[in-house]
């Protein structure tokens, strides 16, 4: 089975940097996703990490350490529209039907 | 480009009534399709997935069922809804390392 932990809520200030952590336990790791989900909407894909290290996409970066079972999503130059839930999801070997989602971190960006 | 359509957006149904949610995908053939449910304060839970016409796998025992009558059509049904069936239902398809693409979701309230 798989277990994913991420903080339930976070608050950060507009223009600042915030790091959302995700730890996981899984057998047969294949990759880790980050999704953004605004209230009442469907999740949208942010990133997919397979190898260790940092991947940057504009204001968003995602980091993975497979040996530590650890990932983080880094959001820079926060904007009000970044207020959303951020879901960490682990894909083990065996196909997408085995992907497990974390409960999500609700980020509130304040002025 | 691939798109995924899901309807209705919101639904209020009495306990014991039937349910039918439909999802269609455009711009791809033979997609892997999924039905997820997101209950308040909980992570995304996989309900069903399908790798082809008529092929349905169920992940959790429940009073819901799924069908795939056509390659790009996935239907979630129930004969008699329970209060516990309330939630946000999401249809999705998967491709390579791009993770899931979700439909816009259906907010179901059973009263």
- pLDDT tens per residue across span B57-78: 988 767 899 999 999 999 999 9
Left (φ > 0), alpha (ψ -120 to 50) or beta: where does A81 sit? alpha
Tell me the residue length of chain B.
Answer: 111
Place of tokens 């939630």: B87
pLDDT computed for residue A71 by the predictor: 98
Judge whether A87 is closer than 8 Å to chain B, CB to CB: yes
How far apart CA A14 and CA A76 sit, in angstroms, is: 10
Count Cβ–Cβ pairs < 8 Å, chain A vs chain B: 51
Mutate to test the interface with A, among B5, B42, B43, B58 (most CBs of A within 10 A): B43
Sorting pLDDT into bands at 50, 70 and 90, what band is B52? very high
pLDDT computed for residue B37 by the predictor: 94
For residues B41 and B60, is the Cβ–Cβ distance under 8 A?
no
Residue A8 has phi, psi (to 5 degrees) of -75, -45
- B49-55 average pLDDT score: 93
| Cβ under 8 Å to B: A residues 40-59 | 40-45, 48, 50
Query: In terms of Cα–Cα distance, which of A46, A96, A91, A86 is closest to A66?
Result: A91
For residues B64 and B75, is the Cβ–Cβ distance under 8 A?
no
Which residues of chain A are modeled with pLDDT < 50?
none
Out of B32, B42, B105, closest to residue A96 by CB: B32
pLDDT computed for residue B82 by the predictor: 95
């Amino acid at each position: 089975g798989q277990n994913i932990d991420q903080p339930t809520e976070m608050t950060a200030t507009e223009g600042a940097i915030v790091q959302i952590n995700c730890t996981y336990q899984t057998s047969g790791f294949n990759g880790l996703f980050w999704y953004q989900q605004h209230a009442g909407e469907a999740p949208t894909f942010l990133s997919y990490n397979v190898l260790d290290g940092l991947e940057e996409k504009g204001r968003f970066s995602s980091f993975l350490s497979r040996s530590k079972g650890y990932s983080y999503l880094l959001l820079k130059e926060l904007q009000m529209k970044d207020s959303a839930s951020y879901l960490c999801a682990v894909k083990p070997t065996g196909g997408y039907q085995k992907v497990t989602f974390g409960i999500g971190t609700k980020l509130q960006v304040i002025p | 480009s691939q798109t995924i359509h899901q309807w209705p957006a919101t639904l209020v149904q009495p306990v014991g009534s039937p349910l039918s949610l439909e999802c269609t995908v455009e711009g791809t053939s033979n997609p892997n399709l999924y039905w997820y449910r997101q209950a308040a304060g909980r992570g995304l839970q996989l309900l069903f997935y399908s790798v082809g016409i008529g092929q349905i796998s169920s992940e959790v025992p429940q009073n819901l069922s799924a069908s795939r009558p056509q390659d790009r059509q996935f239907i979630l049904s129930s004969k008699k809804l329970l209060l516990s069936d309330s939630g946000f239902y999401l249809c999705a398809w998967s491709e390579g390392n791009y993770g899931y693409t979700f439909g816009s979701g259906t907010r179901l309230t059973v009263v």
